[in-house]
Structure 1
Amino acid sequence: MLLSRLVSLFSNILLWGSAVLLGIPSLVFCIECLVGAATIRHQEVDEEEVMSPLSLNILVPAHNEADHIGATLDGLLEQVAEASQIIVIADNCSDQTATIARSCGVTVLEREDANCPGKGYALDYAVKHIQANPPEVVIIVDADCQLMPGTITRLAQQVVQQQCPIQATYLMDVGAESGITDRISVFAIKVRNWVRSVGITQLGYPCVLAGSGMAFPWTILQQAPLAGSKCVDDMQLTIDLAIAGHTPTYITTGRVTGRLMQNQAAQSQRSRWEHGHLEVILTQVPKLLREAWHQKRLDLVMLALDLSVPPLSLLVLLWLLAFSLSSLFWILGLVSWLPLLVLTLMGSCLSLALGAAWFSVGREDLPVSTLFVIPVYLLWKLPIYFKFFVQPQTRWLKTERDIEPEASKQ
């Protein structure tokens, strides 16, 4: 009898604890998605081409991007007054990235430091280079991105007006013949970088920097701790700037589209992103909450809540696990029906939010006929999350950009 009571008590604690831990990020996710999806339906994207102001630099960190840097620079050159405003940082490159960039007439910095790889170190190197003659605005664009016309000017104008970090919409693109897993990944990125960013901005709170299409006042960027090798350096930069009083703002009038890696490199890329995000949840969200308490700042609380939402696939998998355990324990008579009811309502809210996001931005990527493949995609993601507990990948490691040049020599 005592054992039965202990098992029942443990089961209740487990399920109610799971419901609370999942309920908070699920509620945040649902509110952001519903508000964002409703807002996006009434927004129009202005693609009018306008020229950028003179007092800016565009930093383009590049690691073995010979295949893509030319197209990126061609697009940027159409949006600036002078080629010298664009600075490419060829970071630990073993291909023709620097040569191609120079042929476009832009400024090229070459950095060689195998002990300190990563985008953060490259940006820190560039900031130190321009501090002798600093611009008013600095914009960061990845070397494999394309920009909607007018994006550079709109970013710069918003920085000058608001004097805070600004993030444009940053999405990913895949080829027309891409597989269903890639298309689901593109949709998940749209939900994170577009729908939820619009939602939290409409609510009046700061967004998370996305890594490309970011703009900063020079006075803020020169003090930012850029040097580092974390895979989610954009999230870490968001946190560091927010604690210092410079919370980022999101705008929809600029758009940047990057490239989703393929094959094995795609899984490695997703592992870096998602392991890094989980590390942020475990280590940086508590830090943000402590700072929010000490500084008496609600915006830091909201940023912590936004960052506490795990990657979309993991959120769905955790809900499925909690719902299955709750159903099993209820059938066995170990718990009451209340935890199951709470998790059912939670699942309904998640479904409603995802449905609104899909209807708003996902129908082109995921026709109704492909939605039945999502369970297979979730199973495909399981090894990534299991690996986090065995061998977390939270630092910059070799990618397809390192492998391709070596393969081309054979």
Structure 2
Amino acid sequence: MSRLRARAAGRGFFAPMTLIDLLLCILLWALVLAGAVPVLILTVQVLASLPALRPAPTAPRRPSLAVLIPAHDEAGQIAATVAALRPGLAAGDRLLVVADNCRDATAATARAAGAEVVERDDPARRGKGYALDFGYRHLAHTGPPETLVVVDADCVLSPAALDRIARLSAALDGPVQAAYRLDPPPQASSALRLATVATALKQIGRPLGGSRLGWPCGISGTGFAVPTRLLGTVGLASGHLAEDVKLGLDLALAGHPPRFCPEAEVTSALPAGAAARQAQQTRWEHGHLSLILPYAGALLRAALRRGDARLAAMALDLCVLPLVTLALAEAGLAGLALVWWAVGGGAGPLLITVASLAVLVLAFGLAARRWGRGLLRWQDLAALPRLVAGKAGILGRFAARRQTEWVRTERAEAGKSAG
């Protein structure tokens, strides 16, 4: 970088750029422009999500369905989940709980609540994907319904929401994802309220904005419906950390991109304990990051080959990191651009990264106003450094020693202090 240092010192401005300088310049510009694209996509999604939701008509035909609940040590949650779902079942529908490698009374509790139960004992193959595959094969062996609805054992899907996603899935002949809302526990800390808003943006705001633009959405792992005939085209048996995201991407590559149904909500509670939240976020983010390289390119190639812009949109959406992680990545690029400018490499990359950070802050402000109304307070922003530090730790572990084994999020901490 001799020419750059000379420029910074005010000497030799027209000195020829060395090959190394040129390569560094090209690399930095590529990183800066690649970092600006996810910010632009997120901002467009936020802007499209701002108008109020208008009620949509219900699809006319209700298919036969089975509700599949994968459950690992969920004896304390499963009865309430089953009780909330049973009123939405019609004659001939089934409600199947897969008690997956359980060490507690999940199976007995689910049976007592009125669910059909199968038990799976295979400690060597751990993960929700294996439980889904086990339940699907059981249903297929005994006569599969038209539509499969998946609900996590700690979630609530109302009868009306169950009916809506099942009808829409049948009408579209494709997978449909309900809006997944994670609520904070009572007297949540500032950090937890910030996390709630960021999660609402990821699970509801961005999919809603994308759907208004005609884009597909991802699968959130709970509250989704899919025609059972499509499940034979993808592999469910997976121990991947983000088996839900992977399933949505596989369905899209098979020609069935998921659609978002904001009128139906599936709800759960964010873990109150710091350790449980960290474990959940680590699983989500490491799983998401590990899917970007293998799937973004595959989706773009499929989009070009089939002339299907929806797959290109899904590839771009996959590259949008969660809000705080994206902000950290942009801040890192801004630091590199600042060093480049300081040694005389030009201000262009620095201007773009600073502008990207400013747009990201604006997008967060708009999202917080839309999705954090009544929840977020100005004083909660004081917890932002702690939230950023936690995300930085998650990213550092991904670079040094990423998590690859599926681990259940412990809910036992829910009764402890949320601070």
Task: Say yes or no: does 1:200 pair with 2:210.
Answer: yes
The residue number in structure 1 matching 2:83 is 74
Q: Does the 8 Å CA contact 2:185/2:270 hold for their aligned counterparts?
A: no
- CA offsets per residue over residues 319-366 of structure 1, 9 Å max, x none? 112223333443x24222222222222122212221211111112332
Q: What are the residue-to-residue correspondences of 1:110-149 with 2, within 5 Å?
A: 110-131=119-140, 132-149=142-159
The residue number in structure 2 matching 1:188 is 198
Query: Unaligned regions of 5+ residues in structure 2, if any?
Result: 6-16, 414-419
Q: Which moved more, 1:287-296 or 1:68-77?
A: 287-296
The residue number in structure 2 matching 1:266 is 277
Task: Say yes or no: does 1:322 pair with 2:354.
Answer: no
The residue number in structure 2 matching 1:408 is none
The residue number in structure 2 matching 1:93 is 102
Between the two proteins, the alignment pairs up a number of residues equal to 397
The residue number in structure 2 matching 1:257 is 267
Q: C-alpha separation between the residues in 1 aligned to 2:207 and 2:122? A: 35
Q: Does the 8 Å CA contact 2:177/2:259 hold for their aligned counterparts?
A: yes
1:165 to 154, 165, 175: 175
Q: Does the 8 Å CA contact 1:56/1:135 hold for their aligned counterparts?
A: yes
- CA offsets per residue over residues 22-46 of structure 1, 9 Å max, x none? 0111111111111112x3x344699
Task: Say yes or no: does 1:311 pair with 2:322.
Answer: yes
Task: Say yes or no: does 1:219 pair with 2:232.
Answer: no
Q: Does the 8 Å CA contact 1:83/1:107 hold for their aligned counterparts?
A: no
Q: Does the 8 Å CA contact 1:79/1:149 hold for their aligned counterparts?
A: yes
The residue number in structure 2 matching 1:56 is 65
The residue number in structure 2 matching 1:284 is 295
Q: What are the residue-to-residue correspondences of 1:238-387 with 2, within 5 Å?
A: 238-261=248-271, 262-330=273-341, 332-387=342-397
Over the matched positions of the two proteins, sequence identity in percent amounts to: 35
Q: Shift of residue 79 of structure 1?
A: 1.8
Q: Does the 8 Å CA contact 2:82/2:114 hold for their aligned counterparts?
A: no
SS at the partner of 2:68?
strand
SS at the partner of 2:266?
strand
Q: Which moved more, 1:200-209 or 1:280-289?
A: 280-289
Q: C-alpha separation between the residues in 1 aligned to 2:127 and 2:247? A: 14
- Paired letter, 2:35: L
SS at the partner of 1:169?
strand
- CA offsets per residue over residues 55-89 of structure 1, 9 Å max, x none? 11100000000111111111111222369621000
Query: Normalising by the residue count of structure 2, what TM-score does the alignment of the two structures yield?
Result: 0.88
Seen in structure 2, the aligned counterparts of structure 1 residues 315 and 193 have a Cα distance that, compared at 3 Å, is: same
Query: Normalising by the residue count of structure 1, what TM-score does the alignment of the two structures yield?
Result: 0.90
Structure 1 vs Structure 2 CA RMSD = 2.4
Q: Does the 8 Å CA contact 1:8/1:334 hold for their aligned counterparts?
A: no
SS at the partner of 1:396?
coil
- CA offsets per residue over residues 122-146 of structure 1, 9 Å max, x none? 1111111111311111100000001
Q: Does the 8 Å CA contact 2:240/2:287 hold for their aligned counterparts?
A: yes
- Paired letter, 1:29: L
SS at the partner of 2:195?
helix
Query: Unaligned regions of 5+ residues in structure 1, if any?
Result: 405-410
Q: Which moved more, 1:112-121 or 1:13-22?
A: 13-22
Q: C-alpha separation between the residues in 2 aligned to 1:3 and 1:45? A: 59
